[in-house]
Structure 1
């Protein structure tokens, strides 16, 4: 791990197949539940709310076990419906179970799908968000273009992820709060994540040139609005 502003190692792409199988989904669910219980999802929820994603039909890309979207639903006051999509069927099953536990299953739908070819018509959603998935997308330009495609004109998006140049103290803190068996995957996720200049290049190629890119302590946030 290199320093945030020193020499940064080149990006090493990670699998684009997600966390497949019930065993890995269970371990990831346990890790995300711990993160939720410590209050560490709140910053991501705040980023989504700051992007003015507070009502309407909303898409969560790479929803995993669903905790982020479910915590977001708890904070919004407007009428919302959430559709979560994930490449792992095991994660989709976990998300459905968790939505039941939160008591909001009637507001949620979870489906298996690939961000490179989202199974939705143009303009299907009012807004969209995603967290911790960008570094896994085999073709981020195509993925972001797909998210843009399924948004209505004026729809807002918020894409959050790790970044490769986080400082060592932050890296060690995050690693220490992950179960030992999940730490190799965390390290590979850091190595495959993007730095700001790389994200800005991706956005230009995806024609999302009006998006704002912000570095935060534990990663990076991309927020914008589909032009009318």
Structure 2
């Protein structure tokens, strides 16, 4: 199947170099990481996301649809229970943040429309699927529930704790801000992924749901963390 992605990433206006630079600082790197490394990490993340989207599209076409939902993306992750467990925790955290910022978000009736993104409307008769719902559907052997300890996540927390031990308030404030950086443009499904969607789907040819974009946002962050020591 012909790939939808024919635009060279270096020729696009949208980029996440500032965000990746901040994330690398949050991962324990220098506050001003090497620019070439930032560009390299950005390219790796972009290529990984586009490759995954292409696979997800192929899978969705087999099902008779050209819409890429979170189901297709999570399906591609199904053999990695540890990463699925992290996605579960990510969903719980984001739900908590959204509900704290907007108490009515827990029971939305409709979702605002964004250009180039297919929205999943809430219907009274059918509850909107979440990442956790999809994971439960795909995890036939219940492997995710067996993940009790995530060594990589533990080491991340230990590293962060050690880094902040002797920090001044000013440095800690900057570090905390860097730790909060991600590929989201904001919180809430209605406005959080405009930039990400423009980055990975610049021609707007693909139909990607916001829930799919949220999973891709999670995966982009995970990849950036793994590539910080390149």
TM-score calculated relative to the size of structure 1? 0.28
| Higher helix proportion (structure 1 or 2) | 2
Greater percentage in strand? 1
TM-score (norm 2): 0.28
Highest relative contact order (Cα 8 Å, sep 6+), 1 or 2?
2
